[in-house]
Amino acid sequence: MEYAALVDVYERLEATDSTLAKRDVLGEAFADADDEHLPLVVVLCQGHLFAAWQRKELGVSSSLTARAITKATGVSEDGIERRWEETGDLGDAAAWATENEAQRTLFSTDLTVQAVVETLRELPTYEGEGSEQRRVDAIAGLLSDATPREARYVTRTALGHLRIGIGEGLVRDAIALAFLNGIDDAGTVGDSGETTDGEATDDKTTEGEATNGKATDGEGADSEAIEAVERAFQVTNDYPLVAHTAREEGLSGLAELGIELFRPARVMLAEKAAGLDAGIGSVAENPADVLLEFKYDGARVQVHKQGEEVRVFTRRLEDVTDAFPDVVRAVRADVSATDCVLDGEVVGYDRETGDPIAFQQFSQRIKRKYDVEELIEEIPATLHCFDALSIDGESLLDASLDRRLDALGNVLDPEPGAVERATSQRVADSDAPVDFYDWALLAGHEGVMVKNLDAPYRPGRRVGYMMKAKPTMETLDLVVTRAQYSEGRRSDFLGRLFLACVDDTDRADDSDTNEADEAAGTTDDGRFREVGRLATGYTDEELRELTDRLEGLLTERSGRVFDVRPEVVLEIEYEEIQSSTKYDSGYALRFPRFLGVREDLSPADADTLSTVERLYDEQ
């Protein structure tokens, strides 16, 4: 398949703000792709070259890409830099350079979809001395064969920012449209209404269109096709596989997709309760069906075991096995199942006092690549297991929590300080739930989880089966959407960071966009609402690390302020929340202060506008 045909799709997608039109274009592209190219088209339309759990980095920066453009076209890096500053898009600069190239390649071939995927997927394999130049040469090779139109999207794909407004929700809907006839000509999803738990798909819509993963016809019922694709993706995290299965086997084939060892599923997510009593009343009508459990301040992990092989994944699906050899050893020794998938929290403890340490201190364990065993001596960890998704080949996703806990107990031989069952208590067995809550806080934990014992496991969902109750003056996990360099001594650092929450309100469905929306920034995966600007709380070393990370995510520039691809989540404390017209959320944090990077959270896991509104009301 020629890459030019995919560029036609990109340009059609970029030319429309209509979510429904994007969905139709994408569905047509999927339907037209043959069996060999369908997975590649899905991958390239998402803009991610690898499955989420693989977390391979292409190792491509803006400066490296600019060098590749120069090598391919002969246009100077200064000229490319000027064009980049004018347009705010290095892809546009690549198109311009290709059109005005100072040197011509004697021999070139038509660029193909397969060549783009294979070349870019090979980049992470380049290691050691000369690896950076090999990446430059590889990208330059693609650009040498590219037309100006193709060069724009090759560059954007290499940088991980396609800018065509496609998120997971639109891919899901397009698969249903292409292969399951799940969407009718009027733009509704069969007889459907809400189709997900708030997954955003686009940043602009017109009246009656779908956004935030929703499509409505006024009835509010779930679409079988959309729900089937959504479920299949949540358990596989592999849209190419889901698309292929939908085409070849339909709804029945999607229903067969499930938990697979070493391919992590999305974890089930908890909603925030206004208080302990409210949480108990929300998860179940009968308090006897409610389980209370310590809420740990650690790293949520999914542990996969097959024989002696054990792998550990974060809730972001990142493989962190190498960072937790102590957890691997403990699972091998204390979990009797031949194969299993367990859900739990890894918590760091103070070696002297035995008290749990704050996540920000423990996060060193997640990031550490070298001298891991030395850090284990300094910060020992315990895996607290609280759920089982699969045991010895049997999926437990549709089983009740009560049954899943029984299954977990049958294969887990707890060892204090290594692998333990999460501390829990049934409400029916408790004289006063508040006593359990106080116990959790006195033990140094964050609060209490409130769970429905009759509920199944729903990967990637906030479905009301599980809630978390914490002290009301809680910190906020917020996404960096814009950044500005500091002044004075810290002028080399991106020290002024704009913070945003996830918009989970009806405002995300508004058809009109305004200047505040544009200022706040949008992404292919949803909309964020800014709640303030951060400038304090970090050490020079922390700020240096943040700057190194954010500089690779800078996109458009307006004066001294850069838009940032929203991937970094920070934990923020603050003095109070104020009503404000300065930020498009309608709120502003007073004296926000940096506590640390939430390595375990994705942007979709950040706190919501509803949470900000609740905390504002509770002050």
Question: Which residue, 24, 380, 385, 77, is CA-closest to 186?
Answer: 24
Torsions phi, psi for 462 (to 5 deg): -110, 100
Query: Which residues, 6+ apart, have CB-to-CB distance to 490 below 8 Å?
Result: 540, 543
Tokens for 309?
């092989």
**Neighbour count for residue 79 (Cβ, 10 Å):** 17
Burial 270-303 (b: 16+ CB within 10 A, else e): bbbbeebeebbebbbeeeebbbbbbbbbbbbbbb
Coil, strand or helix: which one is 614?
helix
Tell me the CB-side half-sphere exposure of residue 328, using CA atoms within 13 A: 17
Number of residues in the chain: 619
449 bridge partner residues: 293, 468
Torsions phi, psi for 277 (to 5 deg): -60, -40
Query: Which residues, 6+ apart, have CB-to-CB distance to 248 below 8 Å?
Result: none
Active site residues: 295
d(CA 425, CA 429): 7
Tokens for 38?
């369908």
Tokens for 46?
């998402």
CA torsion sign for 103, 105, 111, 115 is negative
DSSP characters for 269-310?
-PEEPSSHHHHHHHH-SSGGGEEEEEE-SSEEEEEEEETTEE
Task: Extract the runs of DSSP E, i.e. beta strands, from 265-409.
Answer: 271-272, 290-295, 299-306, 309-314, 339-348, 381-391, 394-395
Q: At what angle do helices 148-159 and 90-99 cross, to 10 degrees?
A: 150
- Reported as type and span, the H/E element at residue 576 is strand 576-579
Tokens for 503?
């918009």
Any idea which residue has 């453009």 for tokens? 69
Largest CA-CA distance found in the chain, in angstroms, rounded: 83
Any idea which residue has 């996703």 for tokens? 397
Strands 309-314 and 587-590: unpaired
**Do 392 and 339 meet the contact criterion of CB atoms below 8 Å apart?**
yes
Query: Which residues, 6+ apart, have CB-to-CB distance to 379 below 8 Å?
Result: 348, 349, 351, 357, 361, 362, 364, 365
Strands 466-469 and 271-272: parallel
Question: Which residue, 443, 404, 396, 407, is CA-closest to 423?
Answer: 443
Tokens for 117?
């995927």
Question: Which residue, 89, 49, 47, is CA-closest to 69?
Answer: 89
